[in-house]
Amino acid sequence: MHTRDGDTELSQELESVPPSPARPARLHPFRGLRLAPAKVADPSAARALARPYREVARRLASWQSEGLMELDDAPALYLHEYTVHGITIRGLVGALDLSTRATTLEESAVLPHEDIHFAQAGDLASRMYEMGLDPAPILLVHRGPTEIRSLIRDTADSLPDHEFRDGAGQEHRIWALRDTRQLQTIAHSLADSTLLIADGHHRYAAYLELQEARRPGWDRGLAMVVDQEDTPLFLGAIHRVLHQVRLDAVAQAAAATGRVTWNGDRMSALAKLGPRSAVATDGESWLSIEWSLDSEQLSPLEHLHGDVLPRLRSRAAAHGASGDASSPRLSYHHSVDSALEGLHGQHVAVLLPAPDFELVNRTVQGGRLLPEKATSFQPKPSLGVIMRPVPHTGD
């Protein structure tokens, strides 16, 4: 992912999220902690990482003594390859350096693409510190240079250190990278990269909160870096349901900036869903909303949150609603069928097109953030494949 020329100051939108470490992006070796294959994606693993969090370290130590967990003797970077439903993803897993701060967009090593709730990030920070564990890597994507892509492919052609199928059906292969030349190649190749957060915005914010509080061991945070040109993550849409909103009110709000067309049925409406258009329905009537290409090239999701929802709030306020009652309650759905369930003419589902990587890239390079739950990068690795212990006394 390439940054723009110039020395643009961070925009107001980007100042609303935690800062980025300054380039170069750096992944440090660490001692990987792995659950036994039988425990990966097993419900008991999730229970072991649940409340009370201060007991997590003791539970995991017990599992380690029983042979249900393994801690590597020496630090390494890891190549993790996982396959699910025919999609194979490969990524480099390391401890992302958080010790520096960028002051401009061009200096930023890591860029978020959607909003977060800071209270949720704070809860995650407290939880991870109490556990003494970084339980899963955040997913970062970039367009990797040829040098690092060749290293990854050559490594993937060799015999892995670990290979197994987990309880969720994911197939995993893991290589520990400790060779000095490999580590130097990775460091050199990542130096000019800007890494986009695909999944883990709140955990990333929690990392920085712990780092700024100078918690021992939290100058780094667990991350997996995926080359979107090599083994691309699939981007899916996340649809919205606006609760206790009428479809004609949505149509009126959307008509202020878009072209609204009423459609006779589901099939004809969904046929119009595309990069510049969304579909809305109350389960009985259907309409499509198309926005023209403008100078900012806003996506339908940005138009929904930036144009339609504010007009719905203003309309509700004008009719006497106040406080939270003037803001439509949103729920989020990863499938069309889930979004359409239970509308009964009382709620409105807004079906959105799946974004592509270029759209997300263009948005962050323009200094903007997408609304929360803007994208669904898939597939994600199962919990427990690679973790990073962070004891309170330091690494």
223-260 tens-digit pLDDT: 999 999 999 999 999 999 999 999 999 999 999 999 99
Q: What is the percent of the chain where pLDDT is above 90?
A: 76
Claim to verify: residue 219 and residue 147 sit in the same structural domain: yes
| 210 band by pLDDT with thresholds 50, 70 and 90 | very high
Q: What is the DSSP string of 157-223?
A: TSPPSEEEE-TTS-EEEEEEE--HHHHHHHHHHHTT--EEEEE-HHHHHHHHHHHHTT-TTTTEEEE
Please indicate, yes or no, if residue 142 is contained in any of the structural domains: yes
92, 19: one domain = yes
Please check whether residue 3 lies inside any domain of the structure.
no
pTM of the entire predicted model: 0.89
- CA nearest neighbour of 40 among 163, 215, 203, 159: 163
**The predicted structure's pLDDT at residue 316:** 78
Burial of 260 (0-12, 13-18, 19+ CB in 10 A): middle
Is residue 185 located within the same domain as residue 243?
Answer: no
Residues 132 and 178 in one domain: yes
Tell me phi and psi for residue 266, to 5 degrees: -60, -45
> Residue 16 has what pLDDT?
53
- pLDDT confidence of residue 294: 62
Domain assignment of residue 382, yes or no: yes
Whichever domain contains 325, its CATH number is 3.30.1760
State which amino acid sits at residue 48. A
The rounded distance, in Å, linking the Cα atoms of 274 and 354 is 8
**Residue 352: band (very low, low, confident or very high) from pLDDT cuts 50, 70, 90:** very high
228 shares a domain with 245: no
Q: How many domains does the chain have?
A: 2
3-state DSSP assignment of residue 112: coil
Is 372 contained in some domain? Answer: no
The pLDDT of residue 3: 31
Residue 266: CB atoms within 10 Å? 15
Identify the residue whose tokens are 């986009």. 196
In a domain, 367, yes or no: no
d(CA 297, CA 268): 26
DSSP letter for 305, please.
Answer: I
Query: How many Å apart are CA 56 and CA 134, to the nearest integer?
Result: 12
In a domain, 289, yes or no: yes
4 found inside a domain = no
Residue the block writes with tokens 């490594």: 155
pLDDT, position 366? 79
Residues 137 and 259 in one domain: no
136 and 178 belong to one structural domain: yes
Measured CA to CA, the distance from residue 199 to residue 372 in angstroms comes to: 11
If you count them, how many residues does the chain have? 395
Specify burial of residue 367 (Cβ count, 10 A radius: 0-12, 13-18, 19+): middle
CA-wise closest residue to 243 among 178, 324, 320, 330: 330
Residues 171 and 293 occupy one common structural domain: no
Q: Classify residue 362: in a domain, yes or no.
A: no
66 and 24 in a single domain? The answer is: yes
64-97 residue pLDDT tens:
999 999 999 999 999 999 999 999 999 999 999 9
Residues contacting residue 131 through CB under 8 Å, at least 6 positions apart: 49, 53, 54, 56, 57
Say yes or no: 274 and 316 in one domain.
yes
- Expressed in percent and rounded to 5, the helix, strand and coil fractions of the chain are 30, 25, 40
Q: Are residues 289 and 220 in the same domain?
A: no
- In whole angstroms, give the CA distance from residue 313 to residue 326: 5
CA atoms within 13 A on the CB side of 134: 33
Section 317-333 average pLDDT: 70
Burial class (CB in 10 A: 0-12, 13-18, 19+), 182: middle
Same domain, 182 and 304: no
Distance CA 67, CA 189 (A): 37
Determine the pLDDT at residue 392. 78
Structural domain that includes position 90 = 12-234+377-389
Which among 57, 53, 134, 122 has a CA at the least distance from the CA of 96?
Answer: 134
Q: Taking Cα atoms as reference points, which of 125, 190, 107 lies closest to residue 151?
A: 190
Residue with tokens 């040098």: 147
pLDDT beyond 60 at 25 = yes
Exposure on the CB side of residue 39, measured as CA atoms within 13 A: 21
